[in-house]
Structure 1
Amino acid sequence: MPKCHVPECENRTSFVTSPDEVIPDWAEWALAEDSACHRWLPTDGQCVADAFRNGSRELCDTFVYQPGSSIVAEFDLACQEWKRSLVGTIHNVGMLISLPILGFISDKWGRRAALVMSGCGAGAVGLAKSFVGSFPAYLLAELLETACGASVYPAAFVLMIEWLGVEHRILASLVLGIPLAMGAATLSLLDYLTGYWRTWARFAYPPSFLLLLYPWLLPESVRWLTTQGRLQEAVDVIKRAAKCNRVSIPQDGLEKVLLNDAEQANNRVNEIIGDESLFRALIKYSALRRRLCVCFVWWSSAVFVFYGLAVQAHALAGSAHANYALVAAAELPALVANTLLLDRVGRRPLLTAALLLTAAALSLQPCLPQGVQWAGTALYLTGKAGATMALNALYVYTAELFPTRARHRLLAACSTAGRLGAVLAPLAAVLDTEFEKNNYKRIQRQDYSNKAFNYKDFVNATQCL
């Protein structure tokens, strides 16, 4: 945590401190106990108790940081909550840019092309981000990174479900979700080992360039090749898969089956959108609009909660690295539960139950008494698991609502609507801070049995608001 610099009591040439530096005695009368952003007003420039007016406070103009721990220290962002929240907002704005563009690329040039471009683009920009020297440059790099890389998961998900049969789509979400959660936990461990965000970035992003091997290792979606009329390529891909699985398929029969599938797929799509553009079809057909509108509401709500919880993981008690790894690990039981229940209870019942579970857990958390941190953490992780179940179910359900020809674009449109919720999620911390400040000022003006009302009384009084 950064500490307010008090020039009357310390003569520093560097505003960097060691993690184990002892809190000085003068902090008791020089620093405001209820706010890390304020100090008591000095009167005569001396470092004694009588030289500070404890009834009046002023904002700190300089801070002392631990060395290189985060961008907060690097770019002097202490007590500037809006700037720290702006990083998350810019990150999610990049997703808004990425999803429609990469969705178009995926439907136009292939799932594999979108996956490689997204992953390698994010790796290149992320590596460049580790060399930026200012906060505006960092924000620009954050925007470009997500504009390139936000479509890695949707592209991989669409590619996988189009390779697998309908009965294996739930398994696909589990197969993709477990490495995703494990990767997030590994990033926390990497940050702990490196100890400096620039070093972390230089280790975390280069593995993205392994995706350049995918054109030689990963086959294109047969369904996409079929809808594009590239039947010979689809036949070659299936023959390689059959050889790998030691299955013999006649050449003539395979081409005939693919041709029939292509005609049936085109007929199904033409029933909905015909030869019209997708935009004109949305205007003309109410069924398509209704599905999209419902998906927009689902996605914006689920993504807002999911990313809002991720942003606030640092607020849990204990080590920040352990908390982040724990929040990532909370996704694993949610993914397993989805795999077991989605086909048994259905998409909509499970989605509804997951959203209600999240709402109940997060509504109960602020009403807990003080001193039961384990219960607050348990409710937090329950809410995270419920949000993960909802978002995972949305990927499966949304992909099943739309035809192959426009699947990635429409999935990207729904995910883009969800990113509007993600854009607002980091700003919730700013609203929470302002809410506390306004309530503290309001309660201070009221008379509570003629006794002084301190910050601890305020926390108790507003605990369940």
Structure 2
Amino acid sequence: MEKERLLDTEFPFILPSSSPNMAREGNFKTEPHSQPPSSSSNQQEAGEHLRSWSLEKLLRKLKATETDLDDKFTSILNSLGHFGTFQQKLVALTLLPNLLSAFFMFADIFVFTVPKPYCNTSWILAVGPNLTEAEQLNLTLPRDTNGSFLTCLMYVPVTWDLDDIIQFGLNYTQSCSNGWIYPESKRRSVINEFDLVCGEELNREAVHTTILAGLLIGSLTFGFISDKLGRYTSILLSILGLMIFGFGTAFVGNLNQYLFFRFGVSQALVGFSINSVSLASEWLVGEHRAHAIILGQCFYPLGIMLLTALAYSVPHWRLLFLLGGSLVFSLIFYICILPESPRWLMMKGQVEEAKRVLCFAARENKKNIPLSLLGKLHAPGKKATKASVLDFYNNRQLRKVILAIGCVGFTAGHSYFTLSLKMRDFDMNLYISQMVSAMMELPARLGSIFLFEQFGRKWTLAVILLQGTFMNFLVLNFPSDLKSVVVLMVFVGRFSLSAWIAGFFTYTAELLPTVLRTTGLGLGILAWASGAILSITLINQSLTPLSSSLCLISTICSLSLCYMLPETYGQPLVDSLEHYCLHPRTMSDDLDDDLTADHALCDVTTEVAKNTILNVTMNLNPRPLNNTSLKAEEKFKGRRVTEGPR
């Protein structure tokens, strides 16, 4: 009776003849409600609108029910155990590479330290071999007005003996002709290794841009490879790239080779990042998915701490890369123990392989998967598995998602790098500033776990992004003479954006379907790298007002687009574009005024919904049936009579 009352309330055009019992018996008779003679055309239009609105609600309920029933992987993964031995090993496999990723990503900060150069004047040792280094510099280098030696000039060599040089001195100067020495530097960096001084200086922004360009290219390349060849293959290729380019950086012979290897290692880094996130999200369920991804992100600041400690202790930049690169070879065993994603295997039609991987995980967790659940796994249709990067444009809902992800990623990348570059203006100790920043980022990423579970993904990320970009806007427009206040705002801004980065991977992975998950993550990182490159360009050109205006505009656009994104907390992952279109509340949360109607529909069974849709379709489209339609209707009625009541 309660169901009939709800149906009468929600659907006034459905008579009791469409009740559950009668619907099961195939009774589809309906009678139109009597209209008083005084009913106007406006009332008729309102009734038609009500019918259309109610039918749309019922269709959405039916689609949501079918989507829940089709999410077989959630049931299978639940039977494996939410976070058993297998899942724990899987998460552990992603932690060490994340540590190394931070090591290689930020190594340039320490290997490009600028020592004070002096011209190499060893020619004077031919006439005075017993001269000390201080005496040699005093006789052969000119001094500035403040008494310090000039760094890029030397006295012209002469053929006098040492006594004449000491007595009369040297007067004519020239540029350095025999290279440079670095007597005040106790460390060997890329600068004094390749003599990048006195007109040969390397623009530090060029190095950052090279790495970010590698991230940009790698995000596209590895995103495409992963969706086509699998997470397992892509991760192994990323590790191979780290071995070749990370360890190989220690053996480069010139600056161009160094930049090439740094470009290659940045591609490998982003490849592992997006694939490890996809693999963890497709194996884990519920809150464990976010916990694992954010925990992996927490190893980035730990990697920065390790890098800072080693850079402070190791006196040579080549030795630094040797130590970090040697750790990569410990990842060779991934070939034997790294699992493939069962969701990806299913979407590629490899059903038996997916079952084998799931059974292996069950044995690791000492669990049993019911055969009834494994029997439900079957290869999806070609339409479900067919996907390409063009679907981000052709699919209307997916286009909105990737547009919002791209805009938000661009804003965060621009703000994060602007704050990082502003740190150079404060002349802080390099090792202290990096260690403090890393120590602040660690609790920021850990704290995001609590925020995402208490307040959901979407609005938590929106508020964090707003706070971080607001700090960036203040830093760009605040008086620079208040150094302590600006430094505090920089740290607060980086604290917020670090928490945002940790949640960005989780939220993006949950938004995207399996067939395009890594491609979408790659496009998000591409937008992030684009914002970072633009930030470097604007700051380098001293275009602070333009950077400030861009920060404000992109923040407004990002928050506006975030409104269109759905909340993914507690929702199952989407595998195909077909299911993606059926995702409940796909594009916005503009259904608050319909909550009562949705609750009323909760008691409507799938069978009643199907019969009701047929009734409404027949009433709303009263047209003569052709022979094909008549045969289909007779076949349907005959089948329903044969089946009888259930």
TM-score by length of 1: 0.75
Match of 1:335 in 2: 445
Q: Is the 8 Å Cα contact of residues 85 and 429 (structure 1) preserved in structure 2?
A: no
Work out the CA distance in 2 between the residues paired with 1:63 and 1:371: 38
Match of 2:348 in 1: 228
Match of 1:3 in 2: 116
Pick from 388, 398, 402 the counterpart of residue 288 of structure 1.
398
Q: Is the 8 Å Cα contact of residues 32 and 38 (structure 1) preserved in structure 2?
A: no
Match of 1:361 in 2: 471
Aligned residues: 410
Work out the CA distance in 1 between the residues paired with 2:191 and 2:311: 15
Pick from 422, 432, 442 the counterpart of residue 322 of structure 1.
432
Aligned-pair Cα RMSD in Å: 4.2
Match of 1:131 in 2: 251
One-letter amino acid matched to 2:518 = H
Give a deviation string over 1:400-441, Cα, whole Å, max 9, x none.
Answer: 221111111121122112221233344455224x98xxxxxx
Match of 2:310 in 1: 190
Work out the CA distance in 2 between the residues paired with 1:291 and 1:59: 58
One-letter amino acid matched to 2:116 = K
Please, which runs of 5 or more residues in structure 2 have no aligned partner? 1-113, 127-133, 156-164, 545-646
Pick from 187, 195, 199 the counterpart of residue 76 of structure 1.
195
Work out the CA distance in 2 between the residues paired with 1:416 and 1:428: 18
Work out the CA distance in 2 between the residues paired with 1:132 and 1:281: 42
Match of 1:154 in 2: 274
Judging changes above 3 Å, is the alpha-carbon distance between structure 1 residues 183 and 159 closer, same or farther for their aligned structure 2 residues?
same
Stretch moving more, 133-142 or 239-248 = 239-248
Judging changes above 3 Å, is the alpha-carbon distance between structure 1 residues 257 and 60 closer, same or farther for their aligned structure 2 residues?
farther
Question: 1:78 Cα shift?
Answer: 4.0
Q: Is the 8 Å Cα contact of residues 92 and 422 (structure 1) preserved in structure 2?
A: yes
Mapped pair 1:424 → 2:544: no
One-letter amino acid matched to 1:295 = I
Question: 1:39 Cα shift?
Answer: 8.5
State the structure with bigger RCO (CA 8 A, min sep 6), 1 or 2: 2
Pick from 368, 376, 382 the counterpart of residue 248 of structure 1.
368
Pick from 387, 395, 410 the counterpart of residue 497 of structure 2.
387
Work out the CA distance in 2 between the residues paired with 1:424 and 1:73: 29
Q: Is the 8 Å Cα contact of residues 95 and 150 (structure 1) preserved in structure 2?
A: yes
Judging changes above 3 Å, is the alpha-carbon distance between structure 1 residues 72 and 32 closer, same or farther for their aligned structure 2 residues?
farther
Question: 1:289 Cα shift?
Answer: 2.0
Work out the CA distance in 1 between the residues paired with 2:250 and 2:400: 44
Question: 1:163 Cα shift?
Answer: 0.7
Please, which runs of 5 or more residues in structure 1 have no aligned partner? 14-20, 53-57, 436-465
Match of 1:402 in 2: 512
Judging changes above 3 Å, is the alpha-carbon distance between structure 1 residues 253 and 311 closer, same or farther for their aligned structure 2 residues?
farther
Work out the CA distance in 2 between the residues paired with 1:215 and 1:7: 51
Match of 2:326 in 1: 206
Work out the CA distance in 2 between the residues paired with 1:369 and 1:257: 65
SS at match of 1:150: helix
Judging changes above 3 Å, is the alpha-carbon distance between structure 1 residues 350 and 287 closer, same or farther for their aligned structure 2 residues?
same
SS at match of 2:253: coil
Pick from 95, 112, 122 the counterpart of residue 215 of structure 2.
95
From the CA coordinates, give the structure whose radius of gyration is larger.
2
Mapped pair 1:144 → 2:264: yes
Mapped pair 1:114 → 2:234: yes
Work out the CA distance in 1 between the residues paired with 2:138 and 2:197: 23
One-letter amino acid matched to 2:507 = Y
Judging changes above 3 Å, is the alpha-carbon distance between structure 1 residues 73 and 334 closer, same or farther for their aligned structure 2 residues?
same
Judging changes above 3 Å, is the alpha-carbon distance between structure 1 residues 304 and 231 closer, same or farther for their aligned structure 2 residues?
same
Work out the CA distance in 1 between the residues paired with 2:521 and 2:489: 31
Question: 1:285 Cα shift?
Answer: 2.8
Judging changes above 3 Å, is the alpha-carbon distance between structure 1 residues 311 and 191 closer, same or farther for their aligned structure 2 residues?
farther
Percent identity, please: 25
